[in-house]
Structure 1
Amino acid sequence: MLITPIVHSLIIAIIATTLTFLICLPIVYLLIRHPIKLNWFVESLFLLPLVLPPTVVGLFLLQLFGKYGIIGRFLALFADYSVIFTLTGAVIATIIVVLPIMYQSIKAAILSVDPTLSEAAKVMGATPYEILRWIILPNAYSGIIVGLLLTFCRGLGEFGASLMVAGYIQGKTDTIATAIYFAIQGGDNHTAIVLSLLDVLIGIIALLFIQFLNYRTKEVRQ
């Protein structure tokens, strides 16, 4: 009973973190290299989930992916498929919730790289992709890793939005966060405590690694 929600949470967090990184990296890089007048609007969209309750995000996704939603109706055309009450729905909800963390982390990491390095590479004929691959990423890797870890931990503990979209179905959509909640509701304090301690342990390991990266980065710069 304990293994399933742990596995589900890890799957959701890993997939959401990976997809969020792949979404944010090119967009942040393009906005920094080629700023547009609507930069503030794009950034506001990415940061919006940060100021909204997860339940509001979940409600929005239900309206979008539900039976009568725009995307929900489209998906229903394919063998009556729906992301509601599935791990896919939980992944989508988690992606939306963690977007601001990944966006801000990648932006801060890229901006921390000395712009003269990129300019020198550009003068020497490097393409934007080559600058990103050989200049930006190697010099911003510690900040990006921190963003990945923070995003992963936040995704691992996502509750409100994923509960509204994926629900709580034992063996199908249960996660660490939802399993803790319903274990408490059912009077199963032992399960709730064990899962909570596991979540805390993962968080501590991630934070210690972040501190280690920050320490190593300061040493290198000195």
Structure 2
Amino acid sequence: MTAEFWQPVFLSLQVAVISSVIVFAAGLLLARRRAREHGKASVLLETFYLLPLVLPPSVTGFLLIVIFGRNSPVGQGIEWIFNQPVMFTWWAAVIASAVVAFPLMYQSAKTGFEAIDKDIEDAARVDGADEKTVFRKISLPLAGKAIMAGGILSFARALGEFGATLMFAGNIPGKTQTIPTAVYVAIDSGEMAMAWMWVGTMVAISFIMLLLVHFIRK
């Protein structure tokens, strides 16, 4: 296979891995906090966290452009620090993938934490364990299956992100072109053989990811 085929594959994996690390850490911490808090503010925050699940990709991409574009304070700050805008770079693809993948990690981790018997955590506290120890030695192991499933699903979602990435990162071959955007261009230009190879790669990876989730949950 040619470099033309492998470049979007490697970039997609790179983007998915980095965004998954970000999503895993953020989803874990926020899910733990929300699992222990209940109230109107908590409901509003959780609704905000889950918005990318239901928003059209074009809307997500538009909001990312507004937040991180060159006319925004955030975008100007990034450009001042790194001497270049974040839009139309592979980091923009990382941000877009992380945003759309976060709800899967968050929801799965929160479900795992809520399923923990609180008496077990309280018993550890009574025995002298601080909150960090309870989280590390009690909560994480007990919610481990849900957390691992969320991590795998969020990775698969990040790998397949298309709409927001196309708007925010663009489709620059060798720079921001991921598998989903490469498939779109290949079909549009009639390169069906290349499109099939990328599609087959995505189907195979996604199938393996779902199988892992199935075995973890069993």
Contact kept, 8 Å, 2:19 with 2:98, in 1: the verdict is yes
Residue 82 of structure 1 deviates from its aligned partner by: 0.7
3-state SS of the aligned residue for 2:83? coil
Q: 2:163 aligns with which of 160, 165, 169?
A: 160
1:96 aligns with 2:99: yes
- C-alpha distance in 2 between matches for 1:79 and 1:9: 23
The match for 1:176 is: 179
Q: Does 1:146 align with 2:178?
A: no
Letter in 2 for 1:127: D
Q: Structure 2: how far apart are the matches of 1:14 and 1:167?
A: 19
- Which letter does structure 1 place at the counterpart of 2:77? F
1:195 pairs with 2:190:
no
Instruction: Please say if 1:40 is aligned against 2:55.
Output: no
Per the alignment, in what secondary structure is the counterpart of residue 78 of structure 1?
Answer: helix
- 2:118 is matched with which residue? 115
1:186 and 2:189 equivalent? Answer: yes
Tell me if the contact between 2:79 and 2:86 (Cα under 8 Å) persists in the aligned partners.
no
Number of residue pairs matched? 215
Q: Normalized against structure 2, the TM-score is what?
A: 0.94
Q: Give the Cα separation in 2 of the matches to 1:207 and 1:73.
A: 40
Matches within 5 A, 1:61-76: 61-76=64-79
Q: Are the aligned partners of 2:49 and 2:103 in contact in 1 as well (CA < 8 Å)?
A: yes
Which residue matches 2:54? 51
**TM-superposition CA deviations, 1:60-108 (whole Å, max 9, x none):** 1111111212211222323532111101011111111111111101101
Query: What TM-score, normalized to structure 1?
Result: 0.93
The alpha-carbon deviation at position 36 of structure 1 amounts to 5.3
- Offset at 1:31? 2.5
- Map of 1:220 onto structure 2: none
What residue ranges of structure 2 are gaps of 5+ in the alignment?
none
Letter in structure 2 aligned against 1:32: A
Percent of residue pairs bearing the same amino acid type: 39
What root-mean-square deviation, in Å, do the aligned CA atoms of Structure 1 and Structure 2 show?
1.3
Matched, 1:7 2:10: yes
Residue 211 of structure 1 aligns with which residue?
214
SS for the counterpart of 2:81 is coil
